[in-house]
Amino acid sequence: MNYQWNWGLLLRAPYAGWLLTGLGWTVALSIAGWLIALPLGTTIGIARTSSSRWVLRLSGFYVSVFRNIPLLLQMFVWFFVVPELLPAKLGLWFKRDLPAPEFWTAVLALGFYTSGRLAELFRAGLQAVPRGQRMAADATGMNRAQALRYVVMPQALRIILPPLTSEFMSIVKNSSLALTIGVLELTAQSRQIENFTFHGFEAFGAATAFYVLVALVLNLVMVCLQRTLALPVAV
């Protein structure tokens, strides 16, 4: 094995900057994707508990499409296929004129993929809230929307908080797939450093450390949130 170790290189310009911008893109991808996934996932999740047959079928199909196709393939579809199916002008705008088209394409792919997973999570959470809660809300004269908003959803959210956190961790990890369509996020930057310096071990080590750090921070945030939101009585 002919390999020269040089950990100091990671702190040198421009590589330190590359890693940090990479981390920045990873965070941006994750948050932007999450902002699409959360409202979509919540809506579809509620639809999954609907009593209407058609709403159930449609939302079920939505979830099964986004969950049964690998994210990498979904990313390729958003990047290579969708712009070609749009009207020519819009497609061109999507490919070129949008600031950072690769980034937004990846955000869409991440957002829709994650929304399918969140929908299942919300469905499970909503169904886990005891029926009596909904009935009690009915009895106090709330309509269904009010019951959902003020009684069922707050409890469901508390139930799914831990898996919701791990879904956010998943989106952070999944954002690495954006490198296949040219977004220079953390994993891509570490590979770029490896390519320029041929010090792959140091570069991948740094990326690993950043991901572990992000996971640790997320874990702490979740623990704090759980404490803050905990109800005086057990749900």
Partner 1 sequence: MFVRKISLLTVVVAALLPALAGAQEADTALARIQQNKAVTIGFRESAAPFAYLNESKQASGYSIDICNRIAQEIGRKLNIPHIETRYVPVTPQTRIPLIANGTVDIECGTTVNSLGRQEQVDFSYAVALAEGRLLVKKTSGIQDLSDLNGKIVALAAGTTAERYVRAALDRNKINVRVLQVRDNAEGLLAVNSQRVDAFVNDAVLLGGVLRTAPNKDDLAIVGKPLSFEQVAFMVGKNNSGLLTIVNGTIARLLASGELHRLYDQWITPYGVPIEGEVDTLFKIEAIAE
Partner 2 sequence: MPDYSFIVRNASFLFDGLLLSLTLTLIGVIGGLAVGTALALVRLFTGVIGNYAVDAYVFVFRAIPLILVIFWFYFMVPLILGRPVGAWTSAIVAFTLFEGAYYSEILRAGLKSVRAGQLNAALAGGMSRAQALRYVIFPQAFAAMIPIFLTQAIILFQDTSLVFVVSLHDFLTATTIIANRDGRLIEAYAFACLVYYLICLAATAGVEKLKRTFAR
Residues near partner 2, by CB under 8 A: 1, 3, 64-65, 67-73, 76-77, 80-81, 84-85, 169, 173-177, 179-180, 187, 190-191, 200-201, 204, 207-208, 211-212, 214-216
Structure tokens at 152: 């069922």
| In the complex, minimum distance from the CB of residue 189 to partner 2, in angstroms, rounded to a whole number | 12
150 binds partner 1 (CB under 8 A): no
For 189-232, give the secondary structure using H, E and C: HHHHHHHHHCCHHHHHHHHHHHHHHHHHHHHHHHHHHHHHHCCC
Q: How many other β-carbons are positioned within 10 Å of the β-carbon of residue 16?
A: 14
Cβ 201 to partner 1 shortest distance, Å: 8
Q: Which one among 83, 111, 116, 125 touches partner 1, defined by CB under 8 A?
A: 83
Separation between Cα atoms, residue 156 and residue 141, nearest integer Å = 21
Single residue of 3, 54, 145, 232 touching partner 1 by CB under 8 A? 3
Is the distance from CB of 106 to CB of 181 less than 8 angstroms? Answer: yes
Residues 6 or more apart whose Cβ sits within 8 Å of residue 189: 18, 19, 21, 22, 207
Residue 143 contacts which entry, partner 1, partner 2, none (Cβ below 5-8 A, type-dependent): none
Among 27, 60, 192, 225, binds partner 1 (CB under 8 A): 192
Tell me: does residue 171 bind partner 1 (CB under 8 A): no
Tell me the residue type at 138. D
Radius of gyration of the chain (CA): 21
Q: Among 15, 13, 14, which Cα is nearest to 207's?
A: 15
User: According to the binding rule CB under 8 A, does residue 162 interact with partner 1?
Assistant: no
Which of 27, 95, 120, 158 contacts partner 1 by CB under 8 A?
Answer: 95
Q: How far is the CB of 27 from partner 1 (least distance, A)?
A: 20
Binding test (CB under 8 A) with partner 1, winner from 35, 195, 224, 226: 195
* C-alpha span between 195 and 144 (Å, rounded): 58
Q: How far is the CB of 204 from partner 2 (least distance, A)?
A: 6
Least distance from partner 2 to the Cβ atom of residue 73, Å: 6
CA–CA separation, 79 and 228 (whole Å) = 41
By CB under 8 A, how many residues form the interface with partner 1? 30
| Closer residue to partner 2, CB minimum distance, 43 or 180 | 180
Q: Is residue 119 within 8 Å of 46, Cβ to Cβ?
A: no
Binding site for partner 1 (CB under 8 A): 1-5, 80, 83-84, 92, 95-96, 101-102, 180, 182, 184, 188, 191-192, 194-198, 200-201, 212, 216, 219-220
